[in-house]
């Protein structure tokens, strides 16, 4: 009889432990609902100083909740030595997934070398991050001129008209100097 009473008490105690364990498991699942997967792609991969890079980020919520939440997305550009050269952030609404693109103009005096773009997603202390790299090449004389032309599309039109005016002047001058009658 003592054994049976002990066994009954033990089973009752175990039942409470199983219920408590189940409650703790549910609490941990509820708290772990905001897990993110982040993919990052930087284009172009090779760029000159002063040009733009495009950072495409795809963010997916891997958690249990499908509620719409506001997440903070931080961007950092890091050089080969680990020094952060640019940081920006924004807040965006995320339900199950989000694709976002940001454009960053690199400074004209950025050094050549390999750089990483780090994208970090943060929501109430739950965060995830990913990175992608790109390479800054030295900007030669032609690279600087082409960059200037890309930034100011009116310049090629002005150059064309100047060449046209010089050509017309030369044709008129040539005609009068070689076909002049005395």
**Half-sphere exposure (Cβ direction) of 88: Cα atoms closer than 13 Å:** 8
CATH architecture designation of domain 34-144: Sandwich (2.60)
CA–CA gap between residue 51 and residue 61 (Å, rounded): 33
Whether the per-residue pLDDT at 130 is higher than 90: the answer is: no
Helices 141-151 and 154-178: angle between axes, nearest 10 degrees = 100
Instruction: List alpha helices for 106-153, DSSP H.
Output: 141-151
Indicate whether 20 pLDDT > 60: no
Mean local confidence (pLDDT), 88-93 = 80
Pairwise CA distance, residues 81 & 115, whole Å: 9
Residue matched to tokens 């609490």: 27
More confident residue, 163 or 125: 163
Q: Are strands 46-48 and 113-123 parallel, antiparallel or unpaired?
A: unpaired
Closest CA to 76 of 119, 133, 122, 134: 119
How far is residue 24 CA from its own chain's centroid?
A: 37
CB 85 within 8 A of CB 79: yes
pLDDT score of 67: 73
Q: Which residue has the higher pLDDT, 31 or 132?
A: 132
Predicted local distance difference test score (pLDDT) of residue 17:
65
pLDDT at residue 32 is higher than 50: no
Q: What is the pTM of this model?
A: 0.58
Please tell me the predicted confidence (pLDDT) of residue 165.
Answer: 93
- How far is Cα 71 from Cα 8, in angstroms, rounded to an integer? 51
Mention every residue, 6+ apart, whose C-beta is less than 8 A from residue 103: 52, 53, 54, 55
């Amino acid at each position: 009889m003592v054994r049976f009473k002990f066994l009954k008490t033990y089973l009752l105690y175990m039942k409470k432990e199983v219920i408590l364990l189940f409650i703790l498991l549910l609490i941990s699942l509820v708290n772990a609902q905001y897990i993110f997967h982040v993919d990052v792609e930087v284009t172009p991969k090779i760029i000159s100083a002063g040009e733009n890079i495009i950072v495409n980020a795809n963010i997916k919520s891997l958690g249990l909740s499908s509620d719409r939440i506001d997440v903070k997305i931080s961007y950092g550009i890091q050089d080969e030595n680990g020094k952060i050269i640019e940081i920006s952030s924004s807040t965006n609404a995320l339900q199950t997934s989000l694709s976002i693109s940001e454009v960053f103009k690199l400074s004209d005096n950025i050094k050549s070398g390999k750089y990483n773009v780090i994208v970090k997603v943060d929501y109430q202390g739950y965060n995830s991050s990913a990175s992608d790299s790109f390479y800054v090449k030295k900007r030669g004389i032609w690279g600087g001129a082409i960059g200037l032309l890309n930034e100011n599309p009116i310049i090629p039109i002005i150059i064309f008209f100047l060449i046209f005016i010089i050509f017309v002047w030369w044709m008129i001058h040539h005609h009068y100097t070689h076909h002049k009658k005395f």
